[in-house]
């Protein structure tokens, strides 16, 4: 397992604890890659490993790879990749907490999926949903948006992204595409390289990891800007993905339409809403409200289906009415402009940076 970390001193101990307690039935090698952190991340990991050596977990071995300077997540992961020799490897973000059976279920899915499977994405949810209104809204985004999309894509054998937060990769397939590319959206670009070369990405909907979501507006915008910019990078790097015949092609074409939809929402619909608030119904008017009931119904159907899956795995969906209201009514006001900024940043070749810190 590869755990890239950059200035994660506050969260990495909980991540390591959750990894140490995995009920995986075989020996595990965990490599923490400190990407030139300026805080105490390396010292925290060393201290934690020293404590574990005094009270060893026999099937889990932890290592710390310290990089002399910050080189970015992609290069840090490739440094760890160079040290691995197993058939499959797993990447985990340093702020994630894994359920006890997450790794076993992720690898079980990887081994049982059809031949040609190059990666398997885990199910990532948000862990700090009670921090503020932004994280409350994100809880529903992960639950009804990101998670539901991956489940639907999986039905068509067409998951598009094995996210870096928690995914398993066939080591040889990963090496054949050059590992993680040095891009803003390294996991998106790498996933599309795998798809463009004929690989398949699966989804383990019962392998849960809980990540720390951005808690400020600035962090949220930077994260979603990076994700949307990564999609444009992926299209530029792997245009031939549109020519690979497969069921998932419909999702790739749909992704290609995102910039136009976000442009229309940001530059037409939002101004229309503002004008309507002052009595000018040129774009949006009273009939615009008619889209709300169908939208709420669709979200409710997705919610019932996802909740049933959660209950089957012993998880409970906590009450979060405020977050649902924010997600349904206001989330797009933050999300679509941030995504549009990401598209334009890549198309205009603006300077690149990674992360939400």
Q: What's the mean pLDDT in 148-165?
A: 92
pLDDT tens-digit profile of 76-118? Answer: 999 999 999 999 999 999 999 999 999 999 999 999 999 999 9
Strand partners, 121: 167, 203
Q: Which residue has the higher pLDDT, 100 or 300?
A: 100
List the strands of the sheet with 97-98, edge to edge: 60-67, 28-35, 2-5, 88-92, 166-170, 117-126, 200-211, 97-98
pLDDT at 186 over 80: yes
The mean-pLDDT minimum among 137-146, 157-166, 311-320 falls in 311-320
pLDDT reported for residue 58? 64
Instruction: Give me the phi and psi of 353, to 5 degrees please.
Output: -150, 155
pLDDT at 55 over 70: no
Query: pLDDT by residue (tens digit) across 124-141?
Result: 999 999 899 999 999 999
pLDDT tens digit sequence for 225-234: 999 999 999 9
Q: Which residues pair with 4 in a beta bridge?
A: 33
- Taking alpha carbons only, the member of 3, 39, 33, 40 closest to residue 18 is 3
Strands (E), 176-283: 200-211
- Report which secondary-structure segment, H or E, holds 4: strand 2-5
Query: Which structural domains are found in the chain, ordered by start?
Result: 1-85 (3.30.750), 93-357 (3.90.550)
Return mean pLDDT, the chain.
91
- Which pLDDT belongs to residue 53? 67
Six token digits for residue 207: 């392998």
Q: What is the pLDDT of residue 302?
A: 82
Helix, strand, or coil here: 97? Answer: strand
| HSE (side-chain half, CA atoms, 13 Å) at 331 | 20
What percent of the chain stands above pLDDT 70?
Answer: 97
Which range, of 16-30, 36-50, 193-207, 301-315, averages the lowest pLDDT?
301-315
For helices 217-237 and 331-347, give the axis angle rounded to 10 degrees. Answer: 40
- The listed range with the strongest mean pLDDT (48-57, 117-126, 144-153) is 117-126
pLDDT at residue 356 in the model: 54
223-271, pLDDT tens digit by residue?
999 999 999 999 999 999 988 888 788 999 999 999 999 999 999 988 9
**Residue 87 CB burial class (10 angstroms; 0-12, 13-18, ≥19):** exposed
């Amino acid at each position: 397992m590869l755990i890239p970390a950059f200035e994660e001193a506050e969260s990495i101990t909980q991540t390591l604890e959750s990894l140490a307690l995995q009920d995986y039935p075989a020996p595990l090698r965990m490599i923490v890659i400190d990407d030139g952190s300026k805080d105490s991340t390396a010292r925290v990991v060393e201290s934690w490993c020293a404590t574990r050596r005094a009270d060893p977990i026999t099937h889990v071995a932890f290592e710390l790879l310290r990089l002399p300077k910050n080189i970015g997540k992609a290069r840090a992961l490739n440094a760890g990749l160079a040290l691995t020799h197993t058939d499959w490897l797993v990447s985990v973000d340093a702020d994630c907490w894994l359920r006890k059976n997450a790794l076993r279920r992720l690898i079980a899915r990887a081994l049982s999926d059809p031949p040609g499977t190059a990666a398997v994405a885990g199910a990532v949810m948000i862990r700090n949903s009670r921090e503020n209104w932004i994280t409350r809204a994100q809880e529903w985004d992960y639950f009804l948006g990101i998670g539901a999309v991956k489940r639907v894509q999986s039905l068509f054998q067409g998951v598009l992204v094995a996210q870096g937060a928690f995914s398993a990769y066939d080591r040889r397939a990963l090496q054949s595409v050059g590992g993680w590319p040095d891009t803003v959206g390294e996991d998106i670009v790498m996933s599309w390289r795998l798809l463009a070369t004929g690989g398949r990405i699966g989804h383990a909907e019962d392998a849960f990891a809980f990540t720390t979501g951005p808690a400020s507006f600035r962090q949220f915008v930077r994260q979603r800007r990076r994700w949307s910019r990564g999609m444009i990078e992926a299209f530029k790097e792997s245009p031939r993905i549109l020519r690979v015949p497969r069921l998932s092609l419909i999702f790739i074409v749909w992704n290609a339409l995102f910039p136009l939809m976000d442009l229309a929402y940001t530059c037409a619909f939002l101004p229309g809403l503002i004008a309507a608030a002052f009595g000018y119904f040129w774009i949006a008017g009273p009939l615009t409200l008619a889209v709300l009931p169908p939208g709420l119904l669709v979200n409710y159907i997705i919610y019932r289906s996802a909740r049933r899956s959660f209950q089957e795995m012993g998880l409970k969906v906590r009450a979060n009415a405020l977050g649902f209201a924010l997600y349904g009514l206001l989330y797009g006001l933050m999300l679509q402009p941030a995504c549009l900024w990401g598209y334009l940043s890549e198309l205009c070749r603006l300077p690149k940076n990674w992360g939400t810190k």
